[in-house]
A and B are shown apart, each in its own frame.
Chain A
Amino acid sequence: MTTNPWVWLAAILTLCIYTYLYKDNPFYKFAEHLFTGLAVGYTIAIYWHNAVQPYVIQGIFRAHDWVLLVPLGLGLLYLTRFIPKIGYLMLIPIAISLGAGSGVGLPRSLEANIVKQMQGTLLTPAMLQHPFDPYNGLVVGLLVLAGVVCTISYFFFSREHTGALRVSSRIGIWFVMIGFGASFGYTVMARLSLFISRMQFLMTDWIHIIK
């Protein structure tokens, strides 16, 4: 076993968190709150050094870059939420960031998530050359095209699902479910990975069973 007190501390806190598997208890609560508190404290310190220091203290007070007063003022308006009488002022920075965010984001999101994805869904003449290629072949291309069209038809709400729409939406929901199955499988791996990593830490760094 290690004599490093920090490893001991980390190991004890890990075990405290895992006691939740038996049932909710004070050890779990203590470790959880400790982590939440540490994370908040650390984030505040990081923000101080990376945002307040360079932009407010250095930028405004030392370099006299007065334009920075505008974002600072807008940012401070968020704090009005603590004063119910003028709490509505908080809406100003929210509106500005939402408006600017949508303006900057909408065309680019459309390009990245719709225009380019539409291009990726098209069947191309190149696919005819290797119809059975598992990545860019015609068969896979057709499958992707059918998946996209049928799934979209499932999420079409302006018409009742009858006739051809009923068939395509039924196929669409199958595609969605297969997608969820893949996602579920990946999630199982993710959760096990996190557990395994903690076990590796406990058995390697703490009790030295694994060399």
Chain B
Amino acid sequence: MDFLKKLGSLDRRVVYLVLAVSVIVPLVFSFNLRHYVDRSTQRLFDHIEAVPPGGKAVLISFDYDPQVAAELDPMAEAVLRHCFARGIPVIGMSLYPIGASLGERIFTRVAQECGKRHGVDYCYMGYRPGYTIVIMGLGENMRGTFRTDHYGTPADSLPLLRNIRNYDDVALLLDLAGSQVVTTWIVYAGVQYHATVAAGLTAVSAPDYYPYLQTGQLVGQLGGMKGAAEYEQLNVERGYHPRKGLASRAMNAISVSHIVTMLLIIMGNIAFLAARRAGKRDGEGRAIQ
């Protein structure tokens, strides 16, 4: 009973330490875990797989801050590699001021690795202020809404944008976000302009968007680090990239730490129930004081 009592009042710093160890050890001693691929990830992958190369573009919006970049950066990277490997034109943008620089970093690096040229194979348009107005503007006139790219080049002079007027010429619109901004894309680009929308979401917001997936308002969805790791795995399986990326390596640590978390939850509950039972015996109203 004493042990259970101690367990119930365990210093939270001990929990932090146990979790830190469960994260660091699998990162250092890496092993290869194979993930099952969720249907929502597969649907996004298949949708991009069906886009004819050199035709319609994929538009990626980086609507997130550095706080959640850990989950969303690997998604952006995996989807970009897929598009570049298949020769699909890609347009990058952001509705968040800070998201613009996060997106640019990834675009530049992946494009360089894949030997893609700005303006021809991809365009990075950067930040546009105004959320709803921008989303609706892109549906009317893409070049007019962007005006210039991230580096100040006029949108009219970019060869890739020559044939892209509005969402009619966009095969897929992928919003990477950790907030409700995805709903804005669904409501305005999806409902108003019938654009095809998909989302890359932080794990916190992923459950909120399952209803949209079920109705087809989202054609696919990547949820958290797991979603990114699944996409990396699909890229490797189809030969679009030789090796898995950061998200797959992180999944080892996530898997181990999840087991530790589950054990902690079970132990915490046993301690709680034991304390409650003891409390009842002693005639106390509340279990934990």
Contacts and interface: CB of A to CB of B under 8 A. Distances in A.
Interface stretch (A101-109, A123-131, A153-161, A164-172): A101-109
A194 B190 contact: no
B253 interface: yes
A196 B98 contact: no
A203 B28 contact: yes
A182 interface: yes
Contacts of B177: none
A200 interface: yes
B23 A192 contact: yes
Contact of A43 (B98, B132, B261): B98
B39 A135 contact: yes
B27 A21 contact: no
| A interface bracket (residues with beta carbon within 8 Å of B) | 35 or more
A197 B229 CA distance: 13
Interface in B66-119: 67-71, 97-98, 100-101
Nearest to B257: A192
A188 B258 contact: yes
Contacts, number: 132
Given A111-B191, A120-B211, A43 B24 contact: no
Q: Among the interface residues B101, B206, B207, B226, which one has the most CB atoms of the partner chain A within 10 A? A: B207
Interface residues of B, number: 57
Interface in B242-272: 246, 249-250, 253-254, 257-258, 261
Contacts of B254: 189, 192-193, 196
A197 B250 contact: yes
Contact of A117 (B192, B211, B225): B211
Contact of A119 (B67, B128, B208, B215): B215
A183 B214 contact: no
B214 A120 contact: yes
A22 interface: yes
A189 B259 CA distance: 11
B217 interface: yes
Given A117-B215, A193-B71, A108 B192 contact: yes
B181 interface: no
A54 interface: yes
Contacts of A193: 70-71, 203, 224-225, 250, 254
Nearest to A190: B203
A164 to B, nearest CB: 26
Contacts of A101: 132
B253 to A, nearest CB: 5
Interface string B176-189: 00000001001110
Contact of B250 (A43, A50, A179, A196): A196
B100 A46 contact: yes
A92 interface: no
A196 B217 contact: no
Interface of B: 13, 16, 19-20, 23-24, 27-28, 30, 39, 65, 67-71, 97-98, 100-101, 126-129, 132, 147-148, 183, 186-188, 190-192, 202-204, 206-208, 211, 214-217, 223-226, 246, 249-250, 253-254, 257-258, 261
